[in-house]
Amino acid sequence: MLNKGQSEEELFAFLAQKRQEDLDHDFILSSMCTIPHSVAVRAHCLFMETNLGDPGLFPGSFSLEKLLVQRFGTLFHCKNAGGYATSGGTESNIQALRLAKAQCSGIVAPNVVVPESAHFSFKKACDMLGLEARPVPLGSDFRMDADAAAGLIDKNTICLVGIAGTTEYGMVDPIPALGKIAVQHDLFFHVDAAFGGMVIPFLDRPSPFDFAVGGVTTIAVDPHKMGMSTIPCGCILTRDPDLLNSLNIDTPYLTVKQEYTLAGTRPGAPVAGALAVLDYLGMEGMRAVVAGCMKNTERLIAGMETLGYQRAATPDLNVATFTCAKEAIPAPWRVSWTRKNHLRIVCMPHVHAGRVEAFLRAMQEQKKR
């Protein structure tokens, strides 16, 4: 049994109070999500009712998803890339491994060669799909060791994974070297650029990580991270525009006859939001956002080192890590810790210059105590 209904006033007083219990983004330094851009929110609200799981009912929304895939294809140097909007990096990574597995149906004990730095979603994916994950050690620079990766590949390997923007240290794996290895072994090569895919293309000196690199088969990118879209919005891109069809299953009673997505019902709203941000900011706007995040990351590293907290890595992207004791962090700031117990801060767009300075001041105050 449910309760009796509540008045709207009573209900929203309660919900507003609950929302107050959530942390203020001003103090969130640990997240790869951020406050969505105002155009993302406005677009999201315009498409609130739409369901991409039944695209024949929502052809307008569906055309926005196609445009989003086109934008990423162009940005990632493969205009005709295939793809679709997922619920985020986890779904994109699962789907990449499903695709890899679908190409190698004869292999009895398939394995996947993934860097130790891989996001935990690869564990979920391997667990679900019955794949052995073979972890590749990192070099001293926290990047995957390509030679070590090559050494782990055998005839049962169905996929090689590289990370463009690791969750913990913000590093970009040596994608061109890995691409060569993938080509040599005729391997499916998935690049997890959930974080980096919306950072690297906008850097002054972008590391090669996308379809411009020979051998890259699929790329995951998350508009709901550095793309400043609303949650949930990820995207999987495939070099072969028809690759996803290998996951097709029949879908009676829909306006389409087959689908290859993981989810059935899928929101159009965050997809409209993601496209809105890309089209509103454009290349120059995204460059300015990313330049700001990188500048703040450098300032944070310099400031922390001045306070005596040495960097753990010199990151490729806007993730800063330090040798620092947990007690050194004053409330109410929320940071996170890597598996090697390094302090980790992600300089997302909401962590603007003023917040970096405020955090550094708070760290200095805390030191005096």
Of 101 and 146, CB closest to its own copies:
101
Size of the site for its own copies (CB under 8 A): 105
User: Is the distance from CB of 197 to CB of 229 less than 8 angstroms?
Assistant: no
Question: What three-state secondary structure class fits 249?
Answer: strand
Per the structure block, which two tokens stand in for 298? 């450098």
Examine residue 6 and tell whether it contacts its own copies (CB under 8 A).
Answer: yes
Residue type, position 252, single letter: P
Angle at 132 between CA 128 and CA 136, to 5 degrees: 125
According to CB under 8 A, which residues from 286 to 315 bind its own copies? Answer: 286
Of 23 and 353, CB closest to its own copies:
23
Part in contact with its own copies (CB under 8 A); list of ranges 4-12, 138-146, 155-163, 309-317: 4-12
According to CB under 8 A, which residues from 133 to 192 bind its own copies? Answer: 167-168
User: What's the CA gap between 188 and 181, in Å, rounded?
Assistant: 10
In the complex, the smallest distance separating the C-beta of residue 360 from its own copies, rounded to whole angstroms, is 21
Per the structure block, which two tokens stand in for 32? 């790869």
In the complex, the smallest distance separating the C-beta of residue 175 from its own copies, rounded to whole angstroms, is 19
According to CB under 8 A, which residues from 222 to 281 bind its own copies? Answer: 222, 224, 230-232, 249-255, 262-267, 269-270, 272, 276, 278-281
Task: Give the residue among 84, 129, 56 at the shortest CA–CA distance from 243.
Answer: 84
In the complex, the smallest distance separating the C-beta of residue 278 from its own copies, rounded to whole angstroms, is 6
In the complex, the smallest distance separating the C-beta of residue 147 from its own copies, rounded to whole angstroms, is 26
Examine residue 64 and tell whether it contacts its own copies (CB under 8 A).
Answer: yes
Question: In this chain, which of 26, 42, 104, 148 binds its own copies, going by CB under 8 A?
Answer: 42
In the complex, the smallest distance separating the C-beta of residue 16 from its own copies, rounded to whole angstroms, is 7
Number of CB atoms found within 10 A of residue 198's CB: 28
Of 14 and 305, CB closest to its own copies:
14
Part in contact with its own copies (CB under 8 A); list of ranges 2-10, 143-151, 181-189, 208-216: 2-10
What letters, b where the CB count within 10 A reaches 16 and e where it falls short, cover 328-339? bbeeebebbebe
SS (H, E, C) 142-194: CCECHHHHHHHCCCCEEEEEEEECCCCCCCECCHHHHHHHHHHCCCEEEEECC
According to CB under 8 A, which residues from 71 to 100 bind its own copies? Answer: 71, 74-75, 87-91, 94, 98
Walk across the sheet containing 336-337 and list its strands. 319-322, 343-346, 336-337
In the complex, the smallest distance separating the C-beta of residue 285 from its own copies, rounded to whole angstroms, is 5
Per the structure block, which two tokens stand in for 112? 């996947």
Examine residue 61 and tell whether it contacts its own copies (CB under 8 A).
Answer: yes
Examine residue 210 and tell whether it contacts its own copies (CB under 8 A).
Answer: no
Of 205 and 369, CB closest to its own copies:
205
User: What's the CA gap between 137 and 126, in Å, rounded?
Assistant: 18
Q: Which residues contact 332 (CB under 8 A, 6 or more apart)?
A: 23, 24, 27
In the complex, the smallest distance separating the C-beta of residue 254 from its own copies, rounded to whole angstroms, is 7
Per the structure block, which two tokens stand in for 210? 């996308």
Examine residue 121 and tell whether it contacts its own copies (CB under 8 A).
Answer: yes
Of 79 and 361, CB closest to its own copies:
79
Part in contact with its own copies (CB under 8 A); list of ranges 58-66, 134-142, 144-152, 154-162: 58-66
User: Is the distance from CB of 267 to CB of 50 less than 8 angstroms?
Assistant: yes
Part in contact with its own copies (CB under 8 A); list of ranges 136-144, 212-220, 236-244, 335-343: 335-343
Of 17 and 140, CB closest to its own copies:
17
Phi and psi torsions of 320, nearest 5°: -115, 135
User: Is the distance from CB of 153 to CB of 187 less than 8 angstroms?
Assistant: yes
Residue 306 Cα distances to 89, 295, 352, angstroms:
36, 16, 20
